[in-house]
Amino acid sequence: MFKQLGIVGTGTMGIGIAQLAVLSKIDVQLYDVNDTLLRRSTVRINANLRKMVNLGKISQEEVQASMERIRTRTSLPDLGNCDFIIESVIEDIRVKKDVFKHLDASTKSTTILASTTSSRSITSIGANTRNPERIIGVHFFNPIETSALVEVVKGYKTNNETIEKIIAFVNLLGKTPIIVKDTPGFIANRVSQPLFGEALRLLGENVADVEQIDHIVKIIGGIPAGPFESMDQIGIDTAFAEAQSLFEQSNGEPRLRPHPILKQMVESGWLGKKTNKGFFNYEETNAK
C-alpha cells in the first residue's frame, strides 16, 4: 500500500480524503497555496476527529496519532516523494491540467496521479503527462464520511496495475469502489444531473417549493436526501460546474442545460452547507 499520500487542495473533498487516510494510518502530505489555508484545514480535521471522539467512534489517542500523520506543504515539488497524489482543486479542466503538468514534472515516473473530478475527462486531464498509464480518477461523494461509493475512473491508457492499487486504497478507506469508463459525467452524475435539473425547473415554474420537492422525491425514491438537500451538500458551485461540464460535453443537450437558479445562487455566494446558506439555511445547524 502507499506509504506517502499527497493531496492537492484543501476544500471539502481534499480535507475529507485526508481525514479518511490518516484514520487508515496513511501518512498525508497536504498541499495548498498558503499556510493560512493549510492551518484552517488542519483545524477542521482536528475538530472533525474530536466530534468522532464525542460520538465514541475513536479515542483521543487516535486523534493525536492521526494529526501527527499530516504534513503541510506550500510547494508542489515537496510532494515529489509521494507514491500517490490526489488532485482536489476546483472543477475547471484548465486548472486541473496545470496542476497535473506541475506534478508530472516534479514526481517519480512511478507515482500515481489521480483526480477527484466529478465530470471532466481523466484522459484529457492527464493527456500531457509522461506516464498516462498511471493517471486515474477517484470520484468521492459528499458527505465523504458517510457516502460508501467511490467511482474509480479508468482513462484510455490507465493500466490494470494502477486500477488494482486504487481499488485496494479505496477498500482500505472503508469505501466501495466501482470501476467506470472515462465518459462525460461518469455514472453518478449522468443519473443525478437530470434529477437536479428537473427539480430546478419545477422550482423555477413555481410548481412546488424546495421542501415539497425534496419530500416527495425522498418518499418515492426511498432515499435519505432530496435533490435540493443533495446540491446543498455537494456545494451549489460544484453542482453548477458539474451541470455546465455535462452540458458542454453532451454537445449542448437541452435537457442538461444548467438552470439559471444555480448561476444566480453561485453569484450570490449561496453555496450550500459550506456557506451556511443554500436552498436551506444551515446557520443554526453548523453553529452547534
Average pLDDT along the chain, 288 residues, taken 10 residues at a time: 90 95 96 96 96 95 97 95 95 92 93 94 93 95 90 96 97 96 91 94 96 94 90 93 90 90 96 94 70
- Tell me what pLDDT residue 255 has: 86
Catalytic residue among 139, 142, 230, 242: 139
CATH 3.40.50.9100 describes domain 4-181: no
CATH entry 1.10.1040.50 includes domain 189-279: yes
Q: What is the pLDDT of residue 285?
A: 62
pLDDT at 2: 78
Candidate list 91, 151, 229, 242, residue with the active-site label? 151
Q: Is 161 a catalytic residue?
A: no
The Cβ of residue 275 has, within 10 Å, a number of other Cβ atoms equal to 18
Cα distance between residue 32 and residue 34, in whole Å:
6
- Give pLDDT, residue 286: 56
Domain boundaries, the chain: 4-181, 189-279
- Three-state DSSP class for residue 86: strand
Residue of 16, 40, 37, 36 whose CA lies nearest to 28: 16
In the block, residue with C-alpha cell 483545524:
43
Verify whether residue 151 is a known catalytic residue. Answer: yes
Q: State residue 75's pLDDT score.
A: 95
